Structure 1
């Protein structure tokens, strides 16, 4: 028995030796786990993860698969388990207990405790001979499989009395293992050397140089009145970066330069503490695209990974596992992603989603527009953020113009908030650039709103649903009084379509030309627009203030106008789906008889009441998830954790370069593996629809399934509004 094999022959005709794969995976997994003080654990899991492949049945099955194609099966065509041997070794010989769960799940996903008990029972009964044979054969070539001492755990584990922290450690160990396994396997099949990422801390000086050049280009010879305040905000962020690691609330008004200041905080904090990367998460892909470009300018193209693909490849046929693993692993100094991608990966159980999770350790995590985190998921999200800072060497920056009252919740009790802005209210007062007007009694119709807005030369109107945006756009286009376009923005439009609209809007604003835009809320958080007048349909306080940030953003007017209207014919059901009880609580504090939304002390009270009304910590899905996490029930957690209540799916639409779209569609059917670059290139051509509506469209021949949860739109695509498709009943329009 000179050698055994882990994988079949590559293009060069060379098989992957099992000893080479186990030791290579061990080396990588140990290196990855070192970021959270668990090198010994990661290395051990990597060493034993494929011990079961040493069994005679598996080795014979591999040779059959290599000759005939297909997966590894026994002579009767049944699958051959190779996970039980390593799982048993870890649980019984090394005494790892629940920390053997990553081994059992390293292909199919993290299991629950009953799955683990069942695996160990079978390994000690009916599968005993097969398991022991594999261990004996593997140990003959790699003696340390049996002789290595039990891996050391991070020091905090012995005294930890919080099962959620332990659960997060299991997730991190699993992530380190599956990423190492994938990279070592890919190196065999693809012949690629492993990339070495630049340390974030070395980029602080180039960042400052690039920032100076960026600001000169942006401001030119005539800085705006707001630019001096933005410089002050930046200096406070950089000074705060010298503080110890922890959680940093960053309340600052819209238009105060949070994007650049967050980057400055991250790079200087990383240099101060030796942190490895910055992961910047934003709520909407429209912001991701904008922020990624800013950070490419500041950090350099080669250091920034923009990862926000909305395509879910978990729903793939069993034989296409390479496509499931074709995911980014965030091995870059700067990662720009979405909060959905970040947290649904963190609370997933699948290797393809979780292989990047270990990169959160020893990182600066910037949550931009943090007010957009869903209330129902706050408990597990805040729990994870706390433990990342307490046990995994990370720091978290919570950036928002409407800073939520997270530190008033029990989940953050005892934590020290390291405030970036020591006294935020004076900053808000200095940057107050708008006057609010409330148009709620009597409620206006969309037609009345359109007729009034048509008199404005440059105006932005924001509503709560895609259906409302389409209707208001039609109304405004019919009465618009100026020689300029009436534009539309929503997720029913391709990403590149939205970007083209935003570029046109900015050009016309900068040149004083007439322009009107009707949009859903995707435009109100972080999108750099400066209108003199903004209309906003009634929404919670944080949405109103974010919308106000698009009015007189650069302070060039004495004051901008923000008209908050409560549409008589708006989609009540759709608004309730978007905002829920938050809207009712907001109306108790803000409005014609209350405060404006930028009153910080009232905003804090509003958040407290909102969390109480929704019972954020006491019951509901968030509490259920926490209970399941404490039981190490990874499948149930993955099923229950949803950042978006109603699942939306990506739709490839007929917009843009037809030849490139066709090429990318062809590459989606690669039988071996879809490269991550394909998904990045697809993004400009994707709109979104609610999943039930997409299936409804398929049934009517207007859409077709492509791969995973990606659909192709076969129906008409409106040149201004994108996909115009709804259920036949008006009350279901916003499903």
Structure 2
């Protein structure tokens, strides 16, 4: 019936796909053809029987569809409305079925307006904690400006502020005050990396109260919750919580999915505050659909969006944001970049040093962090550093070649050593450079795009206890050039054009703005590439093609179950994973501490060489050695290895 009602006919896709997923618009034509052929009599009989129970199906509900959704001028807004309606439909279906079979009644959480005082009181306690920083006064200024901005109308709120400026707490303060001011229903914090997600969830749990915060990502286990927090397991399915902390991958891949289980939480974005932390990490290729959806969430669904970053991208220079008025949280951010400049940059680019030469320089420090672009380079520098460092100085390593639990244990050890003033040298890939709360006196960073250089600098003198930290940017003569170029591409050329020993430093706000605009122009994001292609499929309401093409992260890696940690628990989870009955989702979450990753081609080679065994789907089990410091060690003869 819906398919025969003019413009409302597209909403037939919701009914058609509420079990299997949203189909393409052409499915309506196929459905009508079958309904008007041999099956016409049976269809008419079904319509009559349903109409006896629900007579409303015979009415023309076209007027219920907003005019902007019926217009052909902006198909992306209409496409998002279909997604929202589908989300509400399938969530209601899930909840109704759950209520019928399990008798489950979901408790309603507190309103955000009632949590303002809770947040402010917890923040005061937080500020009284030991470890006062010299820059706390500046952080307080930034917080007060962010809270003052909460009175502004619903919109898109850029939040550029230097690293260490307290964006996590200031974003939370803005969000809770803005939600209370405008009657918004929830706050959703999305963070790009799992390590920061867990870190921020701890902070927000302390500020909002742990019972009010739903932490929803692959690294948190919702199976073994205490009685008073079991609501979170139910709430995770549809984000029915006042405060949600998740990953940008889960947020946006749900937004552009077509499957009911992923999309049932989508309608929770309406009437919410969505805080995107470290927004510079969003891949350029996916910006057209992401920014388009954020704009329509704001203009059509009452959602406010915060774009937080120390290296704020120039999204408002793109066509997709044309005419959209930014509502900045800080009226004048530039003075804060000057006041919070806590490092000096040094450049080792001409002549180019070897990785061994850099390791020798690092070995002369008591506390230093070295960040490189590939796991191959991380292993090389770490081996050189082990040879060169004094025997009593621990030399640590961080990369995704290590199991998740291994990385967390190393990060905890590093933090403790830094806090106690003990010697520690760390070699890492990029996984520590954005938002991870580390404070080294000196950071070495392999040449990378400007935002990566500045984010790395945010790990040096983070709390302002030194007159200045040192950041050494080096362009290694023997680094993995192919792998670095493969991922960073044109961003490297744009960085060389604006930053360097005779140009600007990466924390120059004007140079960063020019850099982003040049980078976007070179890539021609809105007319070429996968993001532009996704937008064409969105305009044609081809939901399967959109879902197939939208990828926020490179899927050219596979998970590897490694011999690390509690062998008893690992073997128990492994047996559940491969049981004939199939594994529950909580098993996969519990496995996270035991999983490392490998590039797909290296994983295939490891299986072929007898170093690994296929376990389930893409998951493989490592049969070779696991290095107690560096994790998986498997040489890549192509030199293209690039894994966080």
Provide the TM-score with structure 1 as the length reference: 0.82
**1:555 and 2:464 equivalent?**
yes
Seen in structure 2, the aligned counterparts of structure 1 residues 189 and 682 have a Cα distance that, compared at 3 Å, is farther
| Correspondence for 2:38 | 126
Distance 1:93 1:260 in 2: 49
**SS of the residue aligned with 2:238?**
coil
**SS of the residue aligned with 2:606?**
helix
**1:185 and 2:94 equivalent?**
no
Distance 1:131 1:194 in 2: 37
Q: Which moved more, 1:554-563 or 1:573-582?
A: 573-582
1:197 Cα deviation (Å)? Answer: 3.4
Q: Which moved more, 1:328-337 or 1:701-710?
A: 701-710
Residues 457-490 of structure 1: CA distance to partner in whole angstroms, max 9, x if unpaired? 0000000111111111111111112522111111
Distance 1:698 1:186 in 2: 42
Distance 1:179 1:620 in 2: 34
Contact 1:307 1:680 in 2 (8 A): no
Report matched runs for 1:42-441 at 5 Å: 89-92=1-4, 96-146=8-58, 152-154=64-66, 156-158=68-70, 161-219=73-131, 223-309=132-218, 328-441=237-350
Distance 1:651 1:200 in 2: 41
**SS of the residue aligned with 1:650?**
strand
Distance 1:676 1:197 in 2: 25
**SS of the residue aligned with 1:349?**
coil
1:192 Cα deviation (Å)? Answer: 2.2
1:190 Cα deviation (Å)? Answer: 3.6
| Correspondence for 2:539 | 630
Distance 2:612 2:39 in 1: 47
**1:731 and 2:643 equivalent?**
no
Seen in structure 2, the aligned counterparts of structure 1 residues 143 and 232 have a Cα distance that, compared at 3 Å, is same
Seen in structure 2, the aligned counterparts of structure 1 residues 440 and 502 have a Cα distance that, compared at 3 Å, is same
**SS of the residue aligned with 2:477?**
coil
Gaps of 5+ in 1: 1-88, 312-324
Distance 2:297 2:246 in 1: 18
**SS of the residue aligned with 1:96?**
helix
Seen in structure 2, the aligned counterparts of structure 1 residues 164 and 670 have a Cα distance that, compared at 3 Å, is farther
Distance 2:322 2:619 in 1: 42
Aligned length: 630
Contact 1:183 1:194 in 2 (8 A): no
Gaps of 5+ in 2: 221-233
**SS of the residue aligned with 1:134?**
helix
Report matched runs for 1:493-532 at 5 Å: 493-532=402-441
Contact 1:282 1:339 in 2 (8 A): yes
Contact 2:215 2:244 in 1 (8 A): yes
- The structure with higher relative contact order (CA 8 Å, sep 6+) is 2
1:127 Cα deviation (Å)? Answer: 2.8
Q: Which moved more, 1:646-655 or 1:444-453?
A: 646-655
| Correspondence for 1:64 | none
Divergent runs of 4+, >6 A: 670-673
Seen in structure 2, the aligned counterparts of structure 1 residues 671 and 264 have a Cα distance that, compared at 3 Å, is farther
**SS of the residue aligned with 2:370?**
strand
| Correspondence for 1:716 | 625
Larger radius of gyration: 1
1:147 Cα deviation (Å)? Answer: 6.0
1:379 Cα deviation (Å)? Answer: 0.9
Contact 1:326 1:676 in 2 (8 A): no
